[in-house]
Each structure stands twice: as structure tokens, then as C-alpha cells.
Structure 1
Amino acid sequence: MFARTYGATTLGVDGLLIDVEVDSAAGLPGFEIVGLADALVKEAKERVRTAIRNSGIQLRQEKVTINLAPADVRKDSAGLDLPIAVGLLAAYGLVSAVTLAKYLFAAELSLEGECRPIKGILPMTVKARESGFEAVFVAKANANEALLVDGIAVYPLDNLSQLVGFLTGQERLVPAKAEPVPEQDTECQDDFADVQGQFQAKRALEIAAAGGHNVLMVGSPGAGKTMLARRMSTILPDLTTEEALEVTRIYSVAGLLPREGGLIKRRPFRSPHHTSSMTALIGGGSVPRPGEVTLAHNGVLFLDELPEFSKKTLEVLREPLEDRKITISRVHATLTFPSDFILIAAANPCPCGNFLDEEQECTCSAGEIRQYNRKISGPLLDRIDIHIQVPRVKYDELASKKRAESSAQIRQRVVAAREIQLQRFRKYGIFCNAQMNHALLQKLCVLDEQAQAMLALAFKQKNLSARAYDRIVKVARTIADLAGAKNIEAAHVAEAIQLRNDNNF
């Protein structure tokens, strides 16, 4: 007997509908899964048969063939266990195959028949709603995540027996309702008020937050670079509903959502170790998965000890920094992941870290310093808008009892500047100054004669590239927005030039 059920997997950060076709016929007993299933899915035949038996259901010994369509896409989700089990029961005539067309099933099965949570339930549920399904059946631990999608019923399952009872009319299931997600404690959250001194660095990060600009901080060890970077997310505007759904979908696919589910409301802050591989940073695998640049989407990617990353790893950052997306090609799929993030990078000026220090003597040779700095290429530095030096904090500043400006105060100015940009770019589909292309820059960022002359002088003296020119103008536009100025003035350009100190590398 033939039966069809529907499951789903993920392709990139989107859901992919899978037709599960099951055929059971008399013949030499066997169980085959076809349709480009990887080892994880092929193992489903053992999990499914054992789960069905331990649920109190005995199946006849027949030849079973299961096809997973589309056959040209590799499937690697344990969530196909449940639709395979339901399809098998329908093929044996134990549940009605007629009603299955309106349901999508997505859960892993244990050997006892319990339903276990899987990755990517949010994009799978979105796909189910778009495809016209009435309901999805998921593990109870995935219910809150699936409920983020409106317009489709979500049935939470404890085990396979519960689902069989519902499909045979012997048991009643009630659609899930969203459970409140506990609020995170923000009392001990990092705050810029804890940072003594470093006024230029804090100003640079405020500008970066207001315009979405990338920042490189160079300074001695212990100067506070990491401390500053970790507070960057506290001054960024809240995620919009659209951004929050996008981030939550990415974290769902990566399996990084908290067990209670719910919408991610805080901007991501990712800080990979400098030993991270190129694949870990940009994503990859036989079926490409999101890397750190995608997990930082709509948030902050912090690379501490930048020269300690391998040069090959750093060079792959060029595309996401320029295009705000990353395309990964593999034999079975070519996928594009979003990667619109603010890059905050921190580096020492030399191996010992004291090259720019006024008090500590540098012990590195000129050759060692050149070799150390050569790890960061010119094209990569060109894509970073703001380059600043972070000096060692003086004792008087550390010992001062005067509390510095809080993140909440800085954030008010950042939000006000972002509102100006939202109004400016309302017709263009972008949200901040850093996203402007050259054509928009020419149209929306007109410089007066004095500002133009100042920029021309800096262009010649610093030997800037066309990309660096654009980025200085974007930063100047953000400085003007923070000041509430309609036009870019000479003072704004002067500060933007000052914030691009290329002498550190």
C-alpha cells in the first residue's frame, strides 16, 4: 500500500518541504530509504521501527521503500523521523492516509517512541504556513518556537502513541498556546558607565552604533579594548520585529535558541576565538550551515586579537563586509546567508603590545612588527570605517569616583540618529548610513566647498582609496546626524578623518 506524508528540513536559513512517500508491499522483507538521505536520515529506519514497536504496534514483515522528495537535495535532519513513522503506519493501514495531507510532522523519535526537539522548527513552520498546511506536529520542547508563526495550529507531542491516538480518533489533542518566556535579568548588564576614561574610543563606538560602521581599535594590552567592545550592544537600538524574526530563524537553524523558545529581542554579540577556522567563521559543511558572520547578523561581531587569526580566515571577511551577505557553494547546494553586522576588531600594535605605549618600552624588532602587522591586509583594513588608537588609561582616571556616561544616555543619541536615517532611507530599502552605496552617497551626502577641500587634502596626504573616501563620507554623515545637522559640515568631515588613523598598521 502507498502513503504520503509531509515533513521538512532546512536549506540555508529557510525551510524546505519534504514529501515522504512510503510504499509497503509483499516480498522479501526490507527497509530502504532513498532520495539523497545522509547517514543521519538513513539511521531513521532503525529508530522508527524500534519506536513503533515500543509504542505497542506490531508491523508485518514486508518490503518497505521510502522516498524523500525532492531527490536532488541532501536531507540531514532527524526531524524526518516522525513523518517517516506516520507514513509507515499509513502504508500499513493503521492510520487514515486521507487526513495526512493537511498536516506537517517534524520531530526526532527516541527508541521508546518519545518525541525529541530538533533544530530549525521556526523556518519549517513558516514554510508549512506558506504551503497551506493547517497544523504542524512538533515535540513539546519545540512548541514555543513554532508558535512564533501566526496562522497555523501547533500541536505539541510527548510521544508517538499520542499522535497515533489523535490520528485514529481515540485521543483528543489541543493546539498549544504560547507560554511566557522569563525576562532576562539586566541589573548586572555591562554598561559604558563602568569604563573610566577612553573618551575618544567611546565616541568612536557611539558613531559606529549610530551609523552601523565597522571599528578597529589598536592599543596596548589592558587598555580596555575588550571591555569597550563588549558594551557595544548596550547602545544599539532594539531589534525591529522583522529583524528579531530574522535573527531567531538563524539561531533556530543553528540550534542555539534557548529551550523555552521565544523571540530573540537582543542584538547578537558574537566573539569567536582567534583559533576559529574559516568554516566556523563564514559557515560551510556538506550542507552549508551558518557561521559566526551569520550568527552576528543584525548585531556585533567582535574579533579580539585580530592579527592572531590566520590570514586566510581574515580574508574571507571581505565579501560579507562589502555585500552584507555570504554565498557558499557546495556540490549539492549553493546558499546565501545574511551577514549584516557591525565588525568591532581589537589588536595590539606589535607582538609585545607596547609599540604605541608612551610608558612601556617595545621589545620587538622592526621586522617582527612588520610581519605581525602584515597579517591584516590593506583591502581588509579598507573595509573598516573607523581606525582608532586606544591608549593605556591613566591612574587618575581609574581612581576617579566620577561615574562616566551610562549606556542608556549614549543609546538615546544613537536611537535619535537612527530615526533620522530611517526617514532618509525610507524609499531605498536600507536602514543606516553604512549601507549606502556610491550612488546614494553622491545623491544624499553633498559636501560644501570647505568640507570638500578638507577631504581632498586628506585624500592626497593619506593616499586613500575610493572605498576609503566613501567610508569617510558615510562616517561624516553619521556625525552630522548625531549633531542633528541637516548638511555635512567641515567639522563633521574633520572628525571623520581623525577617526581613520591608518598609521597604526
Structure 2
Amino acid sequence: MALASAWCVALFGVDGVPVEIEADVGAGSVRTQLLGLPDAALHESKDRVKAAVRNSDHEWPTQRVTLGLSPATLPKGGSGYDLALACVVLAASQAVPDDRLHGTVLLGELALDGRVRTVRGVLPALLAARRAGLTRAVVPTASLPEAALVEGLAVHGAATLTDVIDWLKGSDEALTPAGAHPEPPPVPPGKDLSDVVGQPEARWALEVAAAGGHHVLLTGPPGTGKTMLAERLVSLLPPLSADEAIGVTAIHSIAGLLTPEAPLVATPPFVSLHPSTSTAALVGGGSGLAKPGAVSRAHRGVLFIDEACEFGARSLDALRTCLEDGEVRIARRDGIARYPARFQLVLAANACPCAPPKDLDCVCLPAAKRRYQSKLSGPLLDRVDLRVTMRPLTVMLGPEVGTPEPTAVVRRRVHQARARAGSRWAPHGWRTNAEVPGPALRKEFRLPRTATTLLDRALAIGALTGRGADRCLRVAWTLADLAETDEPTADHVAAALEFRERRRP
């Protein structure tokens, strides 16, 4: 008997680590031993793999089988190692040649009858394999559209373990080669801004938010259009670039949200949450290594939190770090999972628990109102760039309402403003005004003193924090881009400061 090895990938967040799987079949008591810190699901794979091999008309070795997963100190979990384990055991027992196992990563869960089932995280796993220098991959046939997104890797699809065995024996027709890079699905028509009645200030804030990537707080009575505006923000955003689409798709792959019909996420995602959402569902969590939460699924898109004051204060405050850093880092016993989370946050809230159509009709006690409003803490609101108080509707039809601008017209202005910002920040690696760090705004792109007089006065009287001043400058740059001026003026800074001085809910 001999020694054989193959490759798989362990995922930690969106980061993958290649795992070398070795099999030794030799003398000793008849048993199968799995080494390398496997979790419960991986430890059970010994029995799944044995049954799959037997039901594929091959014999499991009647000697001692030792399986080692290296790096040995790296925790490993899941059922995606099944296919690699079966192949190395057969190669070590000399039932199949091992030539094609060199430089090949194998991903897939085995059914007891030998079928190869799909697993989550195929895309980030193959990206990690390519970075490690591996040249080939065998994945479940159902995962081929997703795997075809990875260029520079020869990808093959397998329906059964027998197909993989035939391929290892030299039959090139046994596996299905990956097709061309899948085209993004057609973008469905989004909801149009012309459906929103009135609310000129909120519509303008939505346009500014889309142009600069800023966060928004919409406050007002129920039925004034807060949810309608939030749902229409995503239709104003430009399509994702190739790199952004791959990054977003990798997160959706780990979350198990991809389908063979739509393997590529090419449009900004929109994620809406209910007040019953837990903290773990919001930012990510779970036993062992954490799974991606709503903030990561909304990466490069919009996260909408309706009835924000109905959420737990702890859950909302968990957003603070990812709003600042653009990623989530969740520490667990088995390691730290990192997930990108650069999204646009839209908060919608009522002014009080009873939420009357008009403020004069409020029956809430002052203590109840303060308790309700305190769910949105000061540090969280300090990270929200645009705060808008929406007005109760007074008329639905008639000449007073006018004709609202449709999404197509507003989107054109947004794309032009984003193009101006992109060309300005491209040498520094920033995409939008919201991503520019404060030191760069205060030094390299410092505005003249005449433009920042109001900002300095607000800082002097304590009406604005240092973080708030940086965010005002970012909004001012966005207003300048929409106005097609080279840099913000005093009027742009004043307008940005006005957005932050709206009263809290």
C-alpha cells in the first residue's frame, strides 16, 4: 500500500486556507482514523465516505486507514471534504492512480449512494485555491455555474463519485467542464421614485445618499413614504464592478443564497430587516466559526432597518464598528471570521411609540418617549450622515403635488456625481466620498477657511464631534459633485451641516 494526497479548502469568513489531505493505508488493526481537528460533521464523514465508496463498486481497504488534514492545528468543519477523502483513500489503496490529484482541489459532499452534493462557499474556496497555486478543481455539477466565475483554474463538474474515479483513471469525458464565464442575469425593473408623493427634502437626501454612499435616517409619522424611499435607493446605485460582483457573490455563496440560474450577483443587494432580528442574525454569528449576517449580505448594497426604535439597543449598537470599518470581525473559539460589510444604512423611525399622524395628537408620556428614542444612541446617530424629518401628507392628488422625477432622471445625476468622485479618488483607492478617511479630507484635500467657518463654529460650541465634522465634509464633497463644482463651497458645507442638525426621532 502507499501514501496519497489531495487538496481541499477550509473557509474562515471569506478567507480560504488550502488544506492538504493525506491518506496512509498500512498494517495495523482495521480502523479509520481522522486527524487534524475535525468538527462533528467532518468526523462523521468517515462513515459517509465508506458507504459512498462501497456503493460505487469499490472496496474500502481492509487495513488501517489514517487520514491527516494539514495544517493540523487549523480547525476544520463541514462536509465539503468528503470527495477529497474518498479519492485519497482510493489512491492510497492503489485502486486509482494519483497523477491527477496533484494540484487539484476537490470539493463536495458525498451521499451514501455516491452522488456528489453541492456545498456552500465554492466560489471563495476556489479563489483561495487559485491564490495558493492550485491549477484544477473538481466540484459538484450543480456548482459549476458558480465555479465558472473563477478564471485561471481548470474547473470540472462531477455528478457521482464514479465519475471522479473514471476521470482519475484517465477518462476525460467522465467530468463536465465548466462553461464560459456566466453572464449576469437581466436586471428586473426596480421600483420607481415617481411613486413617492411629495417629500422633496427626503427625495433630495436619497439622491445625495446614492451619489456619495452615505447613511440616512428617515423620521416621521407612519404612511409618509419612509419604506417606499428606502426600497428605491438601490435602484439609484450603479451596477457592481467585476471585482465588487465577485466579492458580493462570495458572501452569498457562503450564506447559501446562490442558485444555478443566477450564480453571479451583479446588482447592489437590498436587505430589509424585521424588529425581531437578533444580534447574531444582524452582524453574523453561530456556533464554531461565525456565519455571515445581514450586514454582510448587504455588502455594496443597502441595509434597511424599518421601525429602528423597535430594535434592541444592543443590536443597533453592534452596527457601529462595521459602519466605521466596512467589515465585521467575529471572534470565536475556533478563530476569527472576517466578512466585508460596506453597505449603505437606511434607518426609518417614528417619533414616538404611539406614532400619531400629527405630533399634536401624541399621547405618550415624556419618559416613554425618551426611552423609545434612546434606542438610537448618540454614537450610532453620529455615524449617520443625513437625517431627514418627513412631513405628514396633506394632499395626494392635484396640481399642488406636481410630477415627481422618475428614477431614471435621478439615477443619471447620481451616476455623473459618482463618476466625478471616482476619478478624483481613484489614485488613492477610494470609490465614493463616504469611504474617504478624515485625515485626507483635513490635509491633502483641505478646504479654505472661508468654506469651513460654520463647521468650526459648530465644533467650538460642542454641537458637532470630530467624527461628525469629517462626515459633514464628505457630504459637502457629494453636494459639490452633484453641483458639478471642483470643490465644496461654504453653501455646500452649510447644507451638509443642516442635514446633521435635524432633530432626532
TM-score when normalising by structure 2: 0.94
Which letter does structure 2 place at the counterpart of 1:395? V
- Output one character per residue of 1:88-126: Cα deviation in whole Å (capped at 9) or x when no partner: 111211011233113211111111101111111111112
After TM superposition, the structure 1 = structure 2 runs for residues 78-477 of structure 1, keeping only pairs within 5 Å, are 78-170=79-171, 172-173=173-174, 175-178=177-180, 183-184=185-186, 186-187=188-189, 189-285=190-286, 286-354=288-356, 357-358=357-358, 361-397=361-397, 403-443=403-443, 445-459=445-459, 463-477=463-477
State how far apart, in whole Å, the 1-side matches of 2:479 and 2:334 are: 46
- Cα distance, 1:288 vs structure 2: 2.2
Give a deviation string over 1:372-417, Cα, whole Å, max 9, x none.
Answer: 1112111111111111111222224589885421111111111111
Kept after mapping to 1: 8 A contact 2:81/2:109 = yes
More moved, 448-457 vs 208-217: 448-457
**Segment of structure 1 superposing worse, 201-210 or 294-303:** 294-303
Q: Tell me which moved more, 122-131 or 357-366.
A: 357-366
1:494 correspondence with 2:491:
no
| Separation in 2, partners of 1:105, 1:236 | 38
Q: Residues of 2 paired with 1:502 and 1:364: CA distance?
A: 21
Q: Percent identity?
A: 38
- SS in structure 2 at match of 1:93: coil
- Looking at structure 2, the residues matched to 481 and 170 of structure 1 have their Cα atoms a distance apart, in angstroms, of 59
CA contact (8 A) 1:383 1:468 kept: yes
* Residue of structure 1 equivalent to 2:22: 21
Look up the SS of the partner of 2:443 in the other structure.
helix
Deviates more, 1:144-153 or 1:174-183: 174-183
8 A Cα contact 1:6 1:17, kept in partner = yes
1:481 is matched with: 481
Give the match's secondary structure for 2:428: coil
Q: CA deviation at 1:42?
A: 1.0
Distance 1:195 1:130 in 2: 47
Q: Give ranges in structure 1 of 5+ residues lacking alignment.
A: none
When residues 410 and 145 of structure 1 are mapped into structure 2, their CA distance, relative to the original with a 3 A threshold, is same
| Most deviating of 399-408 and 260-269 | 399-408
Change in Cα spacing, 1:147 to 1:182, as seen in structure 2 (3 Å) is closer
In the TM superposition, residue 224 of structure 1 has moved relative to its aligned partner by 1.0
What is the DSSP-based 3-state SS (H/G/I as helix, E as strand, rest coil) of the residue aligned with 1:343?
Answer: strand
Residues 266/259 of structure 1: CA separation in 2 closer, same or farther (3 Å cut): same
8 A contact 1:446–1:488 mirrored in 2? no
Distance in 1 of aligned mates of 2:185 and 2:340? 28
Residues 319-347 of structure 1 show CA distances to partners (whole Å, capped at 9, x for unaligned) of 11112122222222123322111111111
Partner of 1:43: 44
| CA apart distance, 1:314 | 1.2
Matches of 1:271 and 1:72, distance apart in 2: 39
**Structure 2 CA distance for aligned equivalents of residues 205 and 444 of structure 1:** 28
Q: 1:394 to 1:13 in 2, by over 3 A?
A: same
By how many angstroms is 1:2 displaced?
2.0
Contact 1:141 / 1:260 at 8 angstroms: preserved in 2?
Answer: no
Cα pair 2:197 2:396 within 8 Å, conserved: no
- 2:203 aligns to what SS in structure 1? helix
What's 1:33 paired with?
34
Count how many residue pairs are aligned between Structure 1 and Structure 2.
Answer: 502
**Matched residues in 2 for 1:400 and 1:24: separation?**
84
Q: Deviations 1:339-371 (Å, cap 9, x if unpaired)? A: 1111111111110113xx547611111111011
Change (3 A) 1:98 1:452: closer
Q: Per the alignment, in what secondary structure is the counterpart of residue 20 of structure 2?
A: strand
1:221-255 per-position Cα deviation (integer Å, ceiling 9, x unaligned):
11111111011100011111111111111111222
User: Contact between 2:145 and 2:182, CA under 8 Å: does it hold in 1?
Assistant: no
* Amino acid aligned to 1:426: A
Q: TM (normalized to structure 1)?
A: 0.94
Contact 1:193 1:405 in 2 (8 A): yes
Shift of 1:133: 2.5
1:192-248 Cα distance to aligned partner (Å, 9 max, x none): 121111111110011011111111111111111111101110001111111111111
Q: 1:183 offset after TM fit, Å?
A: 3.2
